[in-house]
Amino acid sequence: MENAADHVATLVALTLAAGTPLVFAALGELVTEKSGVLNLGVEGMMLVGAVVSFIVAATTRQPWLGALAGTAAGAVMAAIFGVLTLSLMANQVATGLALSLFGVGLSAFIGLGYVSVVIEGIKPLSLAGWSDFPILGKLFFGHSPFVYLSLLLCALVQGFLYRTRAGLVVRAVGESASAAHAIGYPVIAIRYGAVMFGGACAGLGGAYMAVAYTPLWTEGMTAGRGWIALALVVFATWKPPRVLAGAYLFGGVTLVQFQAQAMGVAVPSQLLAMLPYLATIVVLTLISRNVSMIRLNAPASLGQPFHPDT
């Protein structure tokens, strides 16, 4: 009995660990989209965050410093996107695609010398006495610090958007930029803030992967998680707590392939590896089917550039 419960606790821990990069990236993109900006560059920002955090962690031997650097790198990538779409009013879809393609290339380029480097990653918590407590210890006190950080971030984003005046302003800008502008809010500055917050979160998600989840760097290591995060925001109908549900669902799906292999299920690994992508398609389709719900929840000016003269 205890053995089975212990196994479940292990599965829960693995699911949380696998879902956490998606939590970071999707929460960041959610705030960006709430301000009315669609940034499709999440994959690129995650990869650059991952590679920068890994390089800094490898050279300074300070993985936390690496995570910080990865977060900053994500924000810098988002700033490029901001200059193009907010100051120069470039098409957001095209610019986001460009950011993703650029991030994939840039991270491969600067990370080349670090492909087989080994670093001391950030380990899961191990609180003396607490984490060793049977089952409950594993369930509550044995996760990576990033898992707790992501949960905290989710609460903060929810509180910010729906309990503070500043959050209300961000949402107003996303619903109607021209109305917010007419009242006197600095639409472009607010959007810069939201875009860079999104980039920082994506960078942090990438950093978690490179310095904690699997402490190594491989080209394209996020394997589409940035795109899945974009789908998650739609799945969550732009509500932070639902991001958690979606992210852990995908975390669980990612685990299936490893669990199945461990149990000796005779399905080829490549076919099992398709599952997260197929699940994304299915889930996105199911949620999008309800057009009125999407319309009700999507920020009304999502993806539209803003210029005061137009």
Partner 1 sequence: MRLKLELRPQPSRVMAWMSPLIAAAATLVAGFALFSLLGKDPLQALQVFFVKPVETRYGLGELLLKASPLMLCAIGLAAGYRANVWNIGAEGQLTLGAICGGGVALSFPGANSAWILLPMIVAGAAGGMAWASIPSWLKTRFNANEILTSLMLVYVATLFLSWLVQGPWRDPEGYNFPQSKIFPDAALLPILLSGTRLHAGFLISLAAIAIAWLFFARTLIGFRMQVAGLAPAAANYAGISAKRTVWFGMLIGGAAAGVAGVGEAAGPIGQLLPSVSPGYGFAAIIVAFVGRLHPVGIALASLLMSLLYLGGESAQISLALPSAVTGVFQGTLLFFLLAADVFINFRVALAPRNAPSSATAAGFASRA
Of residues 125 and 223, the one with the C-beta less far from partner 1 = 223
Of residues 71 and 222, the one with the C-beta less far from partner 1 = 222
By the rule CB under 8 A, 152 interacts with partner 1: no
Of the residues 149, 224, 261, 302, which one makes contact with partner 1 according to CB under 8 A = 224
Of residues 2 and 309, the one with the C-beta less far from partner 1 = 309
Of residues 95 and 150, the one with the C-beta less far from partner 1 = 95
Long-range contacts of 279-285 (CB under 8 A, 24+ apart): 279/249, 279/250, 279/253, 280/227, 280/228, 280/231, 280/250, 283/231, 283/235, 283/246, 283/249, 284/231, 284/234, 284/235
Using CA atoms, how far apart are residues 50 and 67, in angstroms rounded to an integer? 8
Q: Give the interface segment with partner 1, choosing from 6-14, 23-31, 60-68, 90-98 (CB under 8 A).
A: 90-98
Q: Give the interface segment with partner 1, choosing from 60-68, 141-149, 225-233, 238-246 (CB under 8 A).
A: 225-233
- Binding to partner 1 in span 239-268, by CB under 8 A: 268
Q: State in angstroms the smallest separation of the CB of 116 from partner 1.
A: 14
Q: State in angstroms the smallest separation of the CB of 162 from partner 1.
A: 25
By the rule CB under 8 A, 37 interacts with partner 1: no
Q: State in angstroms the smallest separation of the CB of 4 from partner 1.
A: 33
By the rule CB under 8 A, 280 interacts with partner 1: yes
Asked if 6 and 132 count as a contact pair (C-beta separation under 8 A), the reply is no
By the rule CB under 8 A, 42 interacts with partner 1: no
By the rule CB under 8 A, 87 interacts with partner 1: yes
Q: How many residues bind partner 1 (CB under 8 A)?
A: 56
Of residues 99 and 154, the one with the C-beta less far from partner 1 = 99
Long-range contacts of 295-300 (CB under 8 A, 24+ apart): 297/237, 297/238, 297/239, 298/33, 298/238, 299/33, 299/34, 299/35, 299/36, 299/171, 299/174, 299/175, 299/238, 300/36, 300/174, 300/175, 300/176
Using CA atoms, how far apart are residues 212 and 126, in angstroms rounded to an integer? 14
Q: How far is C-alpha 255 from the chain's CA centre? A: 18
Residues at the interface with partner 1 (CB under 8 A): 40, 80, 83-84, 87-91, 93-95, 97-99, 101-106, 108-109, 112, 181, 186, 188-189, 219, 223-224, 227-228, 230-231, 234, 268, 270-271, 273-274, 277-278, 280-281, 284-286, 288-289, 291, 294, 307-310
